[in-house]
Amino acid sequence: MPEPAIVLGANQYGKAEVRVVKVTRDSARHEIEDLNVTSQLRGDFAAAHLAGDNAHVVPTDTQKNTIFAFARDGIGSPEAFLLRLADHFTSSFGWVTGGRWEAEQFAWQRITVGGEPHDHAFVRSGQEVRTAVVVADGTDRHVIAGLKGLTVLKTTRSGFEGYPKDRYTTLPETSDRILATDVAARWRYARPDVDYDAAYASVRSLVLEAFAAKYSAALQATLFDMGRAVLEAHAEIAEIRFSMPNKHHFVVDLAPFGLDNPNEVFYAADRPYGLIEASVEREGVASPAAAWAGIAGFC
Nearest Cα neighbor of 234 from 276, 275, 278, 185 is 185
CB of 285 to its own copies, least distance (A): 6
DSSP bridge partners of 158: 216
Complex with its own copies: residue 21 or 198, whichever CB lies closer: 21
User: Is the Cβ of residue 198 or residue 275 nearer to its own copies in the bound state?
Assistant: 275
> Under a CB-based contact definition with an 8 Å cutoff, are residues 222 and 210 in contact?
yes
Length of the chain: 299
Residue 202 has, within 13 A of its CA and on its CB side, a CA count of 16
Nearer to its own copies, 41 or 199 (CB): 41
- Site size for its own copies, by CB under 8 A? 150
Q: Whole-number minimum distance, CB 210 to its own copies, in Å?
A: 9
Q: Which of 34, 137 has the CB closer to its own copies?
A: 34
Where b means 16+ CB within 10 Å and e means fewer, 206-230 reads bbeebbeeeebebbbebbebbbebb
The answer to whether residue 24 is catalytic is no
User: How many Cβ atoms are within 10 Å of 139's Cβ, its own excluded?
Assistant: 9
Contacting its own copies (CB under 8 A), which of 44, 198, 209, 233?
A: 209
Of the candidates 76, 97, 122, 202, which one interacts with its own copies according to CB under 8 A?
Answer: 122
Shorter beta-carbon distance to its own copies: residue 140 or 261: 261
Handedness of CA 215, 218, 221, 222 (dihedral sign): positive
Measured distance CA(243)–CA(223) in Å, rounded:
9
Tell which positions 10-49 bind its own copies, by CB under 8 A.
10-25, 30, 32, 34, 38, 40, 45, 48-49
Contact criterion met (CB below 8 Å) for 15 and 39: yes
Active site residue 60: yes
199 three-state secondary structure: helix
Q: How far is the CB of 144 from its own copies (least distance, A)?
A: 14
Interactions with its own copies, residue window 249-288 (CB under 8 A): 249, 252, 254, 256-259, 261-285, 287
Distance in angstroms (rounded) separating the CA atoms of residues 103 and 106: 10
Find the shortest distance in angstroms from Cβ 295 to its own copies: 7
248 labelled catalytic: yes
Q: Is the dihedral of CA 210, 213, 217, 219 positive or negative?
A: positive
Stretch that binds its own copies, among 77-85, 136-144, 185-193, 217-225 (CB under 8 A): 217-225
Stretch that binds its own copies, among 79-87, 133-141, 189-197, 244-252 (CB under 8 A): 244-252
Q: How far is the CB of 195 from its own copies (least distance, A)?
A: 21
Q: Among the options 22, 64, 234, 248, which is catalytic?
A: 248
User: Among the options 30, 60, 148, 155, which is catalytic?
Assistant: 60
Nearer to its own copies, 142 or 249 (CB): 249
Rounded CA-CA distance 61/270 in Å is: 39
Subset of residues 137 to 196 that bind its own copies, contact rule: CB under 8 A: 149-157, 160-171, 178
Q: Which of residues 46-75 bind its own copies (CB under 8 A)?
A: 48-62, 64-66, 68-69, 71-72
- Cis previous bond, 245, omega within 30: no
Active site residues: 15, 60, 248
